[in-house]
Amino acid sequence: MKYVLLFGETKERAKQWESMPEAQKQAAYAPINQWFERYGSKITGGHELQPERTATTIKFNNGKPVVTDGPFIEGKESIGGYAEVTVADLDEAIEMAKGWPTGGLVEVRPVVDRGEPQR
Amino acid sequence: MTAALVRALGDFDLAEELVQEALLEAVEHWPKEGIPNKAGAWLLTTARRKAVDQFRRQARFREKLALLEGASMRNDTAEGDDRLRLIFTCCHPALSREAQVALTLRAVAGLTTIEIARAFITSEATIAQRIVRAKRKIVDAKIPYRVPAEQDMGERLEEVLAVLYLMFNEGYLSTAGERASRRDLAEDAVWLAGLMVRLMPEEPEALGLLALMRLHLARADSRFDDEGNLILLQDQDRTRWDRDRIASAIVVLHRAAALRRSGPYQIQAAIAACHAEAGSWEETDWRQIVMLYDALLELMPSPVVRLNRAIARRYLDGADATLPEVDALGGALGEYYLFHATRAELLRDLGREPEARAALARALELTANPAERALLQRRLG
């Protein structure tokens, strides 16, 4: 079963992260890298995303695409990255999410299974 | 199956009638919902429920029910495991608390959606939708159907017990007026807690919760007067307390204590047991109760527990010593009626009547429960 883990942060923490000195940032990456190593065999994709300020949203007004600046998720949180994982069931995905080292939030979403062969 | 019920109930006619009723229900439901995997177990669950309905208002109800419970769980480990898997799936933390409660009542306790709807004073459609959505999430998100692994057991069991305690309180805290029309959820919750104890006899917190529920229920009849007014513990007629139930709860609590892993339900049950065993309000062992609250605070450092500790301390050290402790909780509990009601009592003890009345008025603003409101109004005079 495939799930996507969406890694969320409060906007405030995301800003702090961005303004962090490079050396400190490198140190902060260590536990994240460990997490990816630990679950390497189960992670089938994913990326860290650039900050929300780089986001562009395309909406459709009566079918006509309109390009606007900014993310479409409104609120206090933003998505900082995602990982696609292939595991037995929700409990295993939750187990991985619980081990996520940066704090913040992790949303676990099963992907739609159209019955194609498991990769 | 009739045989199992006869053994349990010692009453062939009644057992047969119950099985008949269960079969009737099966005939109604199975064409619509399909035949359950364990048809026999389903029938027994349904028959049990019918028995519960029949016995509920009878004097020997509890005794018979206990026998019946024993029969339905006759050392069948395969079925026991199946039930545990079902319970843990229904109470999976990825489901909302509302869905956990509805699913558990439907699938484990065997209630119909109509009965669940009545218990929660909501429409059948709402409950049916809640259950359908939860089932869909179980399938779509692949919530596993199994007993949690060792390392997750503590957390997951806590979740199950929280579901059962919420169910219990929903029934127990409903007021006398409501109770007539509501299904007795508290009795269902006790049955489920008893089931957990039989399935996981080595879990002290499951035992603690069962003891706690029994201790509360033992006093249930004395909580309201004939007009439906709430009677406080100190004014209750202790001769109306159910001594057999208290004794059985204390046996369960001893079993829990022997396992030597303390927990919040066991401590709360021990506090309830202190009250249940006191011959009168004056004889209450407040020192012991305050100590138990201290132990509870270690595990659950919440403002509500602090408030309850302060309420007990009042009888040990007086209002003078206790009031500052209560006042300190104002930030966290300013919107909680019991905080203001407690302050009012303490202020009244200290002869600060105008402040006491102001606190009572504030408490009155914060609760919608009719029985609690009536009590506060009586105090306001």
**What are the pLDDT digits (tens) for A62-97?**
999 999 999 988 888 999 999 999 999 999 999 999
Classify B244 as helix, strand or coil: helix
- pLDDT of the residue at B364: 94
**Residue A91 to residue B141, Cβ atoms within 8 A:** no
Dihedral sign of CA atoms B158, B159, B161, B166 in order:
positive
For residue B306, how many C-alpha atoms fall within 13 Å in the half-sphere facing its CB? Answer: 16
Q: Which of B165, B200, B235 is the last residue of a domain?
A: B200
Q: What ipTM did this prediction achieve?
A: 0.84
**Chain A residues with beta carbon closer than 8 angstroms to that of B143:** 89-91
Q: What is the pLDDT of residue B29?
A: 60
Name the residue in chain B with its Cα closest to that of A107: B94
Number of domains observed in the structure of chain B: 2
Q: What is the pLDDT of residues B12-56, one digit of tens each?
A: 445 545 555 565 565 556 555 655 665 556 556 666 666 665 555
Q: Answer whether residue B244 is part of any domain.
A: no
B320 is a domain residue:
no
Instruction: Examine the domain organization and report whether B102 and B190 are in the same domain.
Output: yes
B70 and B1 within one domain: yes
CA–CA distance, B344 with B361 (Å, rounded to integer): 9
Per-residue confidence (pLDDT) for residue B142, from 0 to 100: 94
Q: What is the Cα–Cα distance from B73 to B45, expressed in whole angstroms?
A: 11
Q: Chain B contact for A114, CB < 8 A? A: no
Asked if residue B315 belongs to a domain, the reply is: no
Q: Tell me the average pLDDT across B232-243.
A: 94
pLDDT value for B13:
47
What per-residue confidence (pLDDT) applies to A73?
84
In a domain, B372, yes or no: no
On whether both B99 and B167 belong to a single domain, the answer is: yes
What CATH topology corresponds to A2-110? Alpha-Beta Plaits (3.30.70)
Instruction: Count, in order, helices (H) and strands (E) of chain B.
Output: 20, 0
- Both B98 and B187 in one domain: the answer is yes
Q: Are residues B89 and B187 in the same domain?
A: yes
Contact map slice: B 82-141 vs A, CB within 8 A: 94, 140-141
Considering the domain boundaries, does residue B378 fall inside one? no
Parent domain of B138: 76-200
| Amino acid identity at B137 | K
Does B105 share its domain with B40?
no
In a domain, B41, yes or no: yes
β-sheet bridge partners, residue B310: none
Sheet strands side by side (includes A43-48): A43-48, A77-86, A2-10, A105-110
Is B285 part of any domain? no
What is the Cα–Cα distance from A106 to A82, expressed in whole angstroms?
9
At residue B57 the predicted structure's pLDDT band, cuts being 50, 70 and 90, is very low
pLDDT at B64: 54
Taking residues A1-26, what's their average pLDDT? 91
- Report how far residue A68's alpha carbon sits from residue B319's, in angstroms, rounded to the nearest whole number: 63
Same domain? For B146 and B175 the reply is yes
C-alpha closest to that of B130 among B144, B109, B116, B111: B116
User: Is residue A99 within 8 angstroms of chain B, CB to CB?
Assistant: no
Residue B134: inside a domain = yes
My answer on whether B110 and B193 are in the same domain is: yes
Using an 8 Å CB-CB cutoff, list chain A residues near B144: 88-91
- Are B144 and A89 in contact (CB < 8 Å)? yes
- pLDDT for B76 beyond 70: no
- Give the residue from B346, B305, B354 showing the smallest Cα distance to B324: B346
Chain B touched by A37 (CB under 8 Å): no
| CA–CA gap between residue B104 and residue B91 (Å, rounded) | 7
Residues B43, B92 within the same domain: no
- A1 contacts in B (CB within 8 Å)? 142
pTM: 0.79
Residues B164 and B99 in one domain: yes
pLDDT digits (tens, 9 = 90+) for B130-150: 999 999 999 999 999 999 999
Are B127 and B51 in the same domain?
no
pLDDT of residue B10: 47
Q: What is the pLDDT of residues A101-119, one digit of tens each?
A: 988 999 999 999 777 665 5
pLDDT score, position B31: 52
Contact assessment for residue B216 and residue B172, using Cβ atoms and an 8 Å cutoff: yes
B123 shares a domain with B65: no
Q: List, for residues B322-345, the tens digit of each pLDDT value.
A: 999 999 999 999 999 999 999 999
B152 to chain A: which residues are within 8 Å by CB? 91
- A88 has a chain B CB within 8 A of its CB: yes
Comparing CB atoms, the residue among B140, B144, B152 nearest residue A110 is: B140
Measured CA to CA in angstroms, residue B74 lies from A10, B12, B14, B45, B188 at distances of 53, 19, 20, 13, 20
* Among A112, A50, A57, CA closest to A84: A112
Q: Which residues of B140-158 are buried (b: 16+ CB within 10 A; e: fewer)?
A: ebbbbeebbeeebeeebbb
Residue in chain B lying closest to A110 (CA): B141
